[in-house]
Homo-oligomer: A and B are copies of this chain.
Amino acid sequence: MDTIDNDELLSIRAAELYYDENKTQDEVGAILKLTRWKVGRLLASAKEKGFIRIEIVHPRARKLTLERTLCERFGIRDAIVVPAAGTQGADDLRARAAQAAADYLASLRPVPRVLGVSWGRTLHDVAEHLSEGWATGVNVVQINGGVSVNQRAGTAAATAFEIARKASGQATLLPSPAILERLETKRSIEADRTVGGVLGMAADASAYLYSAGVAGHDSALVESGYLTPNDVDELVRRGAVGDVVGRYIDAAGMIVDPSLNERTVGLSLDTLRRATTSVAVIAGAGKIPVARAVVTSGLCTVLVTDEATALALLDTGS
């Protein structure tokens, strides 16, 4: 064990009296037999060396410095980072991110007239955290295929309806499976006036709100039966780090399986990249690779994430 110098230990003693006992620097000096100027330097030194940790513990807290650094590093318009401090596990963290996304959505100006939304657990959480009347007259349109083949919360319909209802708007669903087995069938569905109209509406939306899926067996696409676990393993072998609106991308943000992509119904990634406002809500340790792919390949203009993911994104970016 390295011996620490006397000043380091003095700085800890001074910090204990100053922060824990609420003594003034003068009082700390009297107790430790030092001048108040020396005490001030010791406290500054303790802070500089990271021995003092000041955290803001609240469900609505943000990490402003990380937010600014993410914007500068990745050229995105906004970043919202929720802190790790005081969270109890992954669910709490996702709730925090969902709350932050809901707050951001409510603060968007001008209010989006048409909001394109994806579906999944995270989007469901955001819908729940939006307050009643978060806006007025927002029409919500579903941007990736998928109808509820099971009863779990987070279905496309439930999510879109909830967001629209709370904004006194209407929800437009995309009445199509997420992925078709045959390219011809997919083209027929897209050519249908009803589905084609929804896809056109999705393409013209003024803002988008979506999450990303991890490239794993618990993916919503696997649980919904569109892909098998073997399908996902193959996609991972080909470099997939996750999916955005049902489309699997690699670390560079490129489609890993063009054939699968062709059979996938919903907003294209090119259209998403051209959007003026696209809010990606991506939090949790398992989503770091896909978060990185999203921010580095222009797939979002706003990222809502957690502190650990933000630090991971910034750690290897240089």
- Report A's interface with B, CB cutoff 8 A: 1, 3-4, 8-9, 12, 15-17, 19-21, 46, 50-58, 60-65, 85-86, 129, 131
From B1, B20, B65, B86, give the contact of A56 (CB < 8 A): B20
Are A64 and B12 touching (Cβ within 8 A)? Answer: no
The answer to whether A53 touches B54 (Cβ under 8 A) is yes
A16: chain B residues within 8 A (beta carbon): 56, 61-64
Q: Add 11 more A-B contacts to A8-B58, A12-B58 (CB < 8 A).
A: A1-B129, A9-B60, A19-B54, A20-B56, A20-B65, A50-B57, A52-B55, A52-B56, A53-B56, A54-B54, A54-B55
Note all chain B residues with C-beta closer than 8 A to A21: 64-65
Bound CA span A86–B51, Å? 10
Ranked nearest first, the 5 interchain pairs of A and B with the lowest CB-CB distance are A53-B55, A51-B58, A19-B54, A12-B58, A15-B56
Chain copies in the assembled complex: 2
**What are 11 residue pairs bridging A and B, where the CB atoms are less than 8 Å apart in the complex?**
A1-B129, A4-B60, A12-B61, A16-B62, A19-B56, A46-B56, A50-B57, A52-B54, A52-B56, A53-B54, A53-B85
B53 near A57 with CB under 8 A, answer yes
Which residues on B sit within 8 Å (CB–CB) of A55?
Answer: 52-55
CB distance from A176 to the nearest CB of B (A): 34
Nearest-CB residue, chain B, relative to A95? B1
Name which residue of chain B comes closest to A128, CB basis. B1
- State how many angstroms separate the Cβ of A147 from the closest Cβ of chain B: 29
Contact B62 A51 (CB under 8 A): no
Closest to A3 in B: B131
Complex CA–CA separation, A85 to B61 (angstroms):
20
Complex Cα distance, B54 from A62, in Å, reads 17
Give A21 to B8 CA distance when docked, in angstroms.
25
B51 in contact with A57 (CB, 8 Å)? yes
Query: Which residue of chain B is the closest to A103 with respect to CB atoms?
Result: B9
**Min distance, Cβ A313 to any Cβ of chain B, angstroms:** 18
A12 touches B60 (CB 8 A): yes
Q: Compute how far the CA of A129 lies from the CA of B4 in the bound complex, rounded to whole angstroms.
A: 13
A134 to chain B: closest CB distance in Å? 13
